Amino acid sequence: MKDKTKKATKTLNVIGLDAKKCQQLADNLNDLLTNYQVFYMNVRGYHWNIKGEKFFELHLKFEELYTDALLKIDEIAERILTLGHTPVHSYTEYLKKSAIKEKTNVTDGKEALAQILENFKIILTKEREILSLSAEADDEGTNSLISDYVSQQEKLVWMYSAYLSS
| Residue 154 contacts residue 95 (beta carbons within 8 Å) | no
User: Residue 1 has what pLDDT?
Assistant: 47
Q: Dmax of the chain from CA atoms?
A: 69
Q: For residue 50, tell me if it sits in a domain.
A: yes
Which parts of the chain fold into alpha helices (H)?
2-9, 19-49, 55-82, 91-97, 109-136, 140-164
- The pTM assigned to this predicted structure is 0.92
The closest alpha carbon to 156, from 123, 134, 108, belongs to: 123
Q: For residue 15, tell me if it sits in a domain.
A: no
Residues above pLDDT 90, as percent of the chain: 92
Q: For residue 159, tell me if it sits in a domain.
A: yes
pLDDT-derived band at 2 (thresholds 50, 70, 90) equals low
User: Residue 92 has what pLDDT?
Assistant: 96
Give every CB contact of residue 82 below 8 A, 6+ residues apart in sequence: 15, 141
Distance in angstroms (rounded) separating the CA atoms of residues 157 and 79:
25
Q: For residue 8, tell me if it sits in a domain.
A: no
Q: For residue 38, tell me if it sits in a domain.
A: yes
Q: Side-chain half-sphere of 155: how many Cα atoms within 13 Å? A: 6
Q: Which tens digit of pLDDT belongs to each residue from 113-135?
A: 999 999 999 999 999 999 999 99
pLDDT at 7 over 80: no
Q: How many domains are there within the chain?
A: 1
The closest alpha carbon to 26, from 77, 97, 98, 69, belongs to: 77
Report, as an integer, the average pLDDT of 65-73. Answer: 98
| Domain of residue 80, residue span | 21-164
User: Residue 10 has what pLDDT?
Assistant: 77
pLDDT-derived band at 3 (thresholds 50, 70, 90) equals low
CATH number for the domain spanning 138: value is 1.20.1260.10
Q: For residue 29, tell me if it sits in a domain.
A: yes
pLDDT at 153 over 90: yes
User: Residue 138 has what pLDDT?
Assistant: 97
Q: For residue 43, tell me if it sits in a domain.
A: yes
Q: For residue 5, tell me if it sits in a domain.
A: no
User: Residue 4 has what pLDDT?
Assistant: 56
End-to-end CA distance of the chain: 62
